[in-house]
Structure 1
Amino acid sequence: MILLDYPYVSDFLLQTIIENKFPVIATKEAKQIGGNKAINWVAEEDAARILKDNPHTPIYTNSENSISWIQQNTQGTDLPEIIDLFKNKYKFRNLIKSAYPDYFFEAVAAENLRSMDVSGFKFPFIIKPAVGFFSIAVYKVDSPEAWTGTIAKIEHDIIRTQSLYPKEVIDNTEFIIEQYIRGEEYAFDCYFDGEGNPVVLNILHHVFTSENDVSDRVYSSSPEIIQKLQSPILDFLGVIGSKVKLRNFPLHIEIRIDDEGKLFPIEVNPMRFGGWCTTGDLSWFAYEINSYEHFFYSKKPDWEAIFKTRKGKKYSLILLDNTTGFETQEIAGFDYDVLLSDFENPLHLRKIDLDKFGVFGFLFSETSEGNESELTEILHSDLKKYIQLKPEVKNKELLA
């Protein structure tokens, strides 16, 4: 079954649902999203009964907003506890600490942040909501002197985003402080099949501008990345599987690999692939892997066959977040045509309402080996070249 919810459902996911007649739970939000489309609806009470009778029934959601439905409708099963175990980063760290005995982490209540003495901590460290999403209120702290300024930024983030997502998605009442791992960051989609075996559906390199960058601007996948990391990732998933009994369960996981090649998990997101139908859809645009079908039909990608036709190619997911320095109300528009002209082979453009969600959209692209400069440029871009300012703001800028 599928739980559809806001903020975004892609046309590709909807098409997949309709073509496969996947059952969709008839919540108010899903009915609004589905509209008059020919969707195989299942009543909420029937869905709840099915899940209680068989908690290993395959279920997927496009949005963390749906977690509250699971929490409310599957009491008496292991599902609420499993989801909370993954969503709460502090609980997850405790779950796997035997595999990472030297890893430092500590929980702290939001109201205690300003009074907390961090002078004895090892720097740098990372602070983020114990339950979070979209790199909101995530910061790297390099020194005791930077602590007060970081708290001010976190408080600003809380005010700015508290009305955008429900408590199950972002809960700013508790934070986790954990050691900073130097190395490369990756994200991947996977699932555990009906026998509890993990299957990897895509692996992406999360690229940053610097060590202090915590943004989500560029994620890139390639045959080389998947070939290099699939084996250690499967080993890591084996650790998770040994701690939690997972059957027919999808996950989106972020990891960091240090200079010695050791894999450290950053966060594990249950019941879904990448948010906003991003990484799940990218697998299709890049490799013609329909991640949603693979999960529900328990299929494994034939990577050897796929890679033969993707040599020398890199596939990227680009978040067009507002780094222009201008507030949302000062921006009149975004020139998507100019953006597309800056890329060798745009695969798909997803326009998003800036006023409502604070981002301009997402771009999926294919880049040939040797042309990676287009990715470097967008990674470092403040996006000012693509925006149109409102007349009164433009005039003010000219006079400044």
Structure 2
Amino acid sequence: MLILDYPYVSEFLKNTAAELQIPVLKNEMAAGIDTEKKLRLLEEAEFIEFIKGKGEYAIYSSSENSIGWISENLGFTGLPEKIEFFKNKIKFRKLLERIYPDFYFQGIEFDKLDEIRTEEIKKPFIIKPATGFFSLGVYKVSTDEEWDAVLERIKIEVEEIRGRYPVQVLDTGKFIIEENIEGEEFAVDAYFNSEGKPVVLNILKHIFSSENDVSDRVYFTSKSVMETYRETVEDLLKEIGNLARLRSFPLHLEFRIGSDRRIQPIEVNPMRFAGWCTTDIAYFAYGINTYRYFLEQLEPDWDNILEGGDERKFCLVILNKTPDIDSKSVKDFNYERLLSDFEKPLELRKADHEKYGLFGYLFTETKDSSWKEIERILKSDLKEYISFKETTPTILTPEGRELFRPQ
């Protein structure tokens, strides 16, 4: 069963829902979707009764915006409690204390951030909303001297993003401070089947422009990534699944692996795969329709899928706006120029930067010989693609001060 919700549903997911005639909750988003073959829409009461009568069910939500509806209407399924385990990062850390007893974290109200005594906290540490989405409001603090500037940036960003998403998705009222997790970072789309077995559908490596970078600019997947990390990920998912007693449950896991090969979860996003339907990269890379695999309880034959594969990398480029750019100052974004800077762009998805703080997403197929195109976009502030309004003097410093007036 599917719940399709704002901010975005890809054409790939729309067509999958229509072709497979998967029951879809009739909400504002779903009712407005136009496909060649009509969606199998169910009114709210019918959708709820269908779940009750089915006994076993598999529900996928395209967006965490639907978490509020699930909490209000599907309490009998046990899903709201499981969702809360993961959406609330403080509860998530408490859940993991059995397997990571020495991991440091603390929760703190946004209004009390001024009272933090950073000299009493081991550094580097990460501070982020206790209920968050993407890397919104996420900062790394390496020294006491950095704290004042970071705090000012948090306040500016909170003011900008407050109200952009429902509080069940992004709540800037409470933050979590936790020790920094060292190592290479990865993201995983996976699900637990009806018997509680974890099934890995894709693994993405998250790369950064610098040691202090915590943004979501570039992820990629490849044969090497899948072969190297799949078994390790499955072992971690088994532990998480046992702790939370997960069955028929899709999720998006983020974790890091240190130089000692120890794996440490960062967070788990429940009821969905990679946000804004970027999980579709698995189809470009491996021919895997992650929605169908979950809803029909299918398992990839990874040995066969990866056999004979080369080292092409399939990249997800997130066109996120840097904090020093005021969305209201932006006149236009040159998508054509962006596409011309990549050897093999696969699909471009545009987004309303004023509403969501990003210009969209780009999928690419990139050979090792062309990797410089990824290194360049990784470090770019995207200003080479942006034209600014002549009358808006709102290019800001990280502390929120006016830097210059665009001409």
Which range is displaced more, 173-182 or 352-361?
A: 352-361
Mapping 1:159-170, distance limit 5 Å = 159-170=159-170
2:177 is aligned with what amino acid?
Answer: I
Question: Deviation of residue 157 (structure 1)?
Answer: 1.6
What is the alpha-carbon distance in structure 2 between the residues aligned to residue 48 and residue 126 of structure 1? 40
TM-score with structure 2 setting the length: 0.93
Q: Which residue of 2 aligns with 1:298?
A: 297
Give deviations 1:208-266, integer Å, cap 9, x for gaps: 11121111000011110111110110000010111122111100011011111111111
Q: Distance in 1 between matches of 2:115 and 2:334?
A: 45
Match in the other structure for 2:399: none
Q: Could you tell me which residue of structure 2 aligns to residue 95 of structure 1?
A: 95
Secondary structure in 2 aligned to 1:275?
coil
Aligned to 1:111: 111
Match of 1:272 in 2: 272
Partners in 2 of 1:23 and 1:106 — Cα distance?
Answer: 41
Provide Cα deviations, 1:72-118, integer angstroms capped at 9, x if missing partner: 00124421110001111111111111111211111112222111223
Name the structure 2 match of 1:311: 310
Question: For residue 156 of structure 2, what is the amino acid of its counterpart?
Answer: H
- The question of 1:361 aligning with 2:344 is answered no
Matching residue of 1:327: 326
| Counterpart Cα distance in 2 of 1:37 and 1:83 | 32
Equivalent residues in 2 for 1:41-80 (5 A)? 41-52=41-52, 56-80=56-80
Q: Secondary structure at the match of 1:169?
A: coil
Name the residue aligned to 1:374.
Answer: 373
Alignment of structure 1 residues 7-22 onto 2, 5 Å: 7-22=7-22
Contact 1:17 1:39 in 2 (8 A): yes
| CA distance, structure 1, for counterparts of residue 378 and residue 173 of structure 2 | 32
For residue 16 of structure 1, give the secondary structure of its aligned residue in structure 2: helix
Counterpart contact for 1:187–1:252, Cα < 8 Å? yes
Question: Distance in 2 between the 1:359 and 1:88 partners?
Answer: 24
- Is the CA contact 1:324–1:383 (under 8 Å) kept in the aligned structure 2? no
- 1:35 Cα shift? 8.1
Deviates more, 1:41-50 or 1:361-370: 41-50
Contact residue 220 and residue 313 of structure 2 kept, 8 A: yes
Q: Secondary structure at the match of 1:323?
A: coil
Q: Compare 322-331 and 368-377 and name the one that shifted more.
A: 322-331
**Are residues 143 and 229 of structure 1, via their aligned partners in 2, closer, same or farther at CA, if it must alter by over 3 Å?**
same
Per the alignment, residue 178 of structure 2 pairs with 178
In structure 2, the partner of 1:384 is 383
Return the letter of the residue paired with 2:100.
Answer: Y
Quick one: distance in 1 between partners of 2:4 and 2:335?
Answer: 28
2:400 is matched with which residue? none
Q: Please show how residues 343-354 of structure 1 align to structure 2 within 5 Å.
A: 343-354=342-353
In 1, Cα distance between equivalents of 2:113 and 2:48 = 39
> Which deviates further from its counterpart, 334-343 or 24-33?
24-33
Moved more, 112-121 or 97-106: 112-121
Distance in 2 separating the partners of 1:196 and 1:179: 30
Q: Is the 8 A contact 1:5 1:62 kept in 2?
A: yes
Task: Report whether the alignment pairs 1:131 with 2:131.
Answer: yes
CA distances 1:330-354 after superposition (whole Å, capped 9, x unpaired): 2222221211111111111111122
Amino acid at match of 1:251: L
Match of 1:340 in 2: 339
Unaligned runs of 5+ in 1: none
Q: Is the 8 A contact 1:4 1:24 kept in 2?
A: yes
CA distance in 2, matches of 1:282, 1:37: 24
Q: Deviations over 1:141-186 (max 9, x none)?
A: 1122322322222222221111210010011222111100221110
Question: SS in structure 1 opposite 2:267?
Answer: strand
- What corresponds to 1:188 in structure 2? 188
Aligned residue pairs total 397
Amino acid corresponding to residue 143 of structure 2 in structure 1: S
In 2: Cα distance, 1:35 partner to 1:84 partner: 33
Q: TM-score, normalised by structure 1?
A: 0.94
In the other structure, the counterpart of 1:250 is 250
Amino acid at match of 1:210: S
* 2: CA distance, partners of 1:328 / 1:119: 35
> 306-315 or 206-215, which moves further after superposition?
306-315
Q: Structure 1 residues 184, 49: CA separation in 2 closer, same or farther (over 3 Å shift)?
A: same
CA distance in 2, matches of 1:388, 1:233: 43
Encode CA deviations 1:352-393: one digit per residue, 9 max, x unaligned: 122322211100000112321111011011212222233456
State the distance in 2 between where 1:243 and 1:8 align: 32
**Are residues 116 and 52 of structure 1, via their aligned partners in 2, closer, same or farther at CA, if it must alter by over 3 Å?**
farther
RMSD: 1.9
Instruction: Please say if 1:289 is aligned against 2:299.
Output: no
Matches of 2:323 and 2:124, distance apart in 1: 27
Unaligned 5+ runs, structure 2: 394-403
Instruction: Please give the alpha-carbon distance, in whole angstroms, between the structure 2 residues aligned to 1:283 and 1:109.
Output: 38
Contact 1:55 1:78 in 2 (8 A): no
For 1:20 and 1:211, the matched residues in 2 are separated by 44
Distance 1:312 1:102, change over 3 A: same
Whole-Å Cα distance in 1 between the matches of residues 77 and 344 of structure 2?
46
Q: Percent identity?
A: 45
Q: Per the alignment, in what secondary structure is the counterpart of residue 97 of structure 1?
A: helix
